[in-house]
Amino acid sequence: MTVAGGIDRDEAFQRLWADPHRRYNALTDEWILVSAGRTHRPWQGRREPSGQEKAPAYDPACYLCPGNVRANGDHNPAYDATFVFTNDFSALRPGTSTERVEVGLLRAEGEEGACRVLCFSPRHDQTLARMQVGEVRRVVDVWAAETEQLGTRHRWVQVFENRGQAMGASNPHPHGQIWAGSALPREAVKEDTAQRRYHGTTGRRLLLDYVAQEADGPRVVEANEDWLVVVPFWAAWPYETLLVPRRPASRLPELGSPARESLAEILIRLLTRYDNLFGLSFPYSMGWHQAPFQQDDTEPWQLHAHFLPPLLRANVRKFMVGYELLAEAQRDLTAEQAADALRGASPVQPGPVAGG
Ligand code: H2U
Ligand code: ZN
């Protein structure tokens, strides 16, 4: 295996970096195009709102705040930490038939599942980045508990958060979602295949080898004893990051108490760096990938989280459009440049918590 940082000192790779080149995503078996130096091209297109409007600690019109009425008429309890409920507009529902039909090239199957919404905090004006370690730790515990519970009945448990209007979040109240379903979705299939293939030939976990190769390298953004955050070598979104436990763990419920605590710490630091990068509440989609359930061999799988923020500059988002939709993903700054910028942004909140 290549030594840590090896590729970055390799002369052939250094020549590649300055010009358009493609990088291989070992986790999904896909290639992406890197065209460094295009970030300064003139932009007269859409500008994203800064998302800096100050929210109140409690919003009587919010369907996620404690005590308020939801769209289905239910009253939220007066919760004081986290709160989980079944999505009133669930995209997947328990008891759906999983029957398959196939006629010629046309194939379909029923998809059974469950969708939950998780409020991270009773405070309408909070974000994970601004919450206390103990509060985020409770979110981690809920992610793990929901995974465990939904995994008894569903094959794939997708924990995620859409943060900010730019990512389609319907409400600023800090919340995430959990969708669990009977099938392996597209991204899961790609990662399952790649990790199994790698484990089959090496006997090791792909992402643990990746962590060993990247630790101390130029793509590291954050690290502690249990976790590593890198802008992956193959990142597609401008400031995409990958968070991986440094020791074997296939799913969230396997994490012990110290790893959950240090996860809460590193999450806050990472998300704060994002906020401080452009001085705004950074929009993103994040989510966990963990070993599928109802399959015996979890050994090839290493738990990890993807952070996929859309912004390229403060008010300009990266559009994954023509070439990206029709050919392959393309990025305008190198993963190393993105990691450098994130390392340059403070991991500490600038001032007292708003409304606190
Ligand atoms: P997003 O902000 O990521 O869309 O998540 C909010 C979810 O909350 C969304 O999936 C659900 C929506 O269906 N929701 C309810 O379940 N009840 C409500 O009263 C409004 C929103
Ligand atoms: Zn609210």
291-330 residue pLDDT tens: 999 987 999 999 999 999 999 988 888 889 899 999 999 9
Domain 83-181 has CATH 3.30.428.10: yes
**Domain ranges within the chain, ordered by starting residue:** 83-181, 185-344
pLDDT at position 11 over 90: no
The answer on pLDDT for 55 being more than 90 is no
Instruction: Determine the distance separating the centroid of ligand 1 and the alpha carbon of 170, expressed in angstroms.
Output: 7
The answer to whether 195 and 208 have CB atoms below 8 angstroms apart is: no
Q: Looking at residue 165, what is its pLDDT?
A: 83
More confident of the two residues 2 and 112: 112
Q: How far apart are the first and last CA of the chain?
A: 50
pLDDT at residue 221, as a whole number? 98
**Mean pLDDT, to the nearest integer, of 266-271?**
98
Architecture of the domain delimited by 185-344: 2-Layer Sandwich (3.30)
Q: With 50 as the cut, is the pLDDT of residue 234 above it? A: yes
Does the pLDDT value for residue 44 go beyond 80?
A: no
Q: Given this model, what pLDDT does residue 355 score?
A: 46
List, for residues 162-181, the tens digit of each pLDDT value.
Answer: 998 878 787 899 999 999 99
Residue 207 confidence (pLDDT): 98
Q: Which residues line ligand 1 (CB under 6 A)?
A: 63, 70-71, 87-89, 117, 162, 169-171, 177
Pocket test for ligand 1, best of 117, 118, 127, 284 (most atoms within 8 A of CB): 117
Q: Across the chain, what does the average pLDDT equal? A: 92
More confident of the two residues 145 and 4: 145
Residue 1 neighbours by CB under 8 Å, 6+ apart: 209, 212, 213
Distance CA 31, CA 114 (A): 33
pLDDT of 156 higher than 50: yes
> Does the structure show a pLDDT above 50 at 356?
no
CA angle 204, 14, 36 (to 5 degrees): 100
Model pLDDT for residues 172-212, shown as the tens digit of each residue: 999 999 999 999 999 999 999 999 999 999 999 999 999 99
Banded pLDDT at 16 (limits 50, 70, 90): confident
Query: From ligand 1's centre to the CA of 55, what distance in Å?
Result: 18
Supply the pLDDT for residue 64: 97
83-181 and 185-344: same fold? yes
Question: Residue 40's pLDDT is what?
Answer: 61
3-state secondary structure of 8: helix
C-alpha closest to that of 118 among 94, 141, 91: 141
Task: Note the pLDDT of residue 2.
Answer: 47
Q: Where are the beta strands (DSSP E) in 211-356?
A: 220-223, 227-230, 241-245, 284-289, 304-308, 311-313, 316-317, 330-331
Whole-model pTM?
0.94
Q: Of the bound ligands, which one is closest to the alpha carbon of residue 66?
A: 2
Contact (CB, 8 A) for 306 and 289: yes
Distance 176 CA to ligand 1 centre (A): 9
